Amino acid sequence: MILSDKKILENIESQDIVIKPFRPEALGTNSYDVHLGRTLAVYSDRVLDAKKDNKVETFEIPEDGFVLKPDCFYLGVTEEYTESHKHVPFLEGKSSVGRLGIDIHATAGKGDVGFCNFWTLEISVKQPVRVYPGMPIGQLIYFEVSGDVGTLYSSKTSAKYNGKTHLPVASKMFRNFDKLS
């Protein structure tokens, strides 16, 4: 079941959901709008290796915007830091963003119960488009969980993305190969 606006507010009040900064005007009927943070990242190498810690170069989006290009893959970040202690958060692109040809995630739209961080966005575009820091970029939808959670994401020692940072985070797939050795 998806949480309504009233249920999201109740859970913010009880601190089962944390959104910082919280903007009342960003609360929708059954979602919360998140905004594009100031920092983007691109991978340093043109060819990525799933077994490597691929390095990224970060840069700030100027106030007059930055043009995303179709032949480049970008990592972005939300302005909002979020925590979800009892619900599964899903990040979806806003329809207005999709209608500009911007995809904000390739595969990682679902968070885990216990996810406490900024959201890294996996951004690609169909044609060149100018984006701005602070623009609405996506919406969080919260789902109720059936049953007790054994281990929150924030408590998992195997969780690859627990390090709190306001910067986009590159793939940590290489850690999966370390476990196979």
Cα dihedral value 111, 112, 114, 116, nearest 10: -20
CA distances from 125 to 8, 30, 104, 107, 115 (A): 31, 27, 9, 15, 27
Residue 181 lies in a domain: no
Q: Is 92 in the active site?
A: no
Range of the structural domain that residue 9 is part of: 5-46+54-146+153-176
Say which CATH number the domain at 140 has: 2.70.40.10
* Domains in the chain, number: 1
Closest C-alpha to 78, from 30, 111, 101, 47: 111
What is the pTM assigned to this prediction? Answer: 0.92
The reported pLDDT for the residue numbered 180 is 59
Q: Copy the structure tokens of residue 135.
A: 């623009």
Query: Looking at the domain assignment, is residue 103 inside a domain?
Result: yes
Q: Is residue 93 part of a domain?
A: yes
**Residue 94 domain-assigned (yes or no):** yes
Query: In sequence order, what DSSP letters do the residues of 15-42 get, joined into one string?
Result: TSEEEES--GGGB-SS-EEEEB-SEEEE
pLDDT at 151: 83
Q: What is the mean pLDDT of each run of 10 residues along the chain (181 residues)?
A: 97 97 97 98 96 96 98 97 95 95 87 93 97 98 90 79 86 78 53
Model pLDDT, residue 124:
97
Coil vs helix vs strand at 142: strand
Classify residue 10: in a domain, yes or no: yes
Among 57, 79, 80, 122, the one annotated catalytic: 122
- Residue 164 has what pLDDT? 83
Q: Tell me, what's the pLDDT at 147?
A: 86
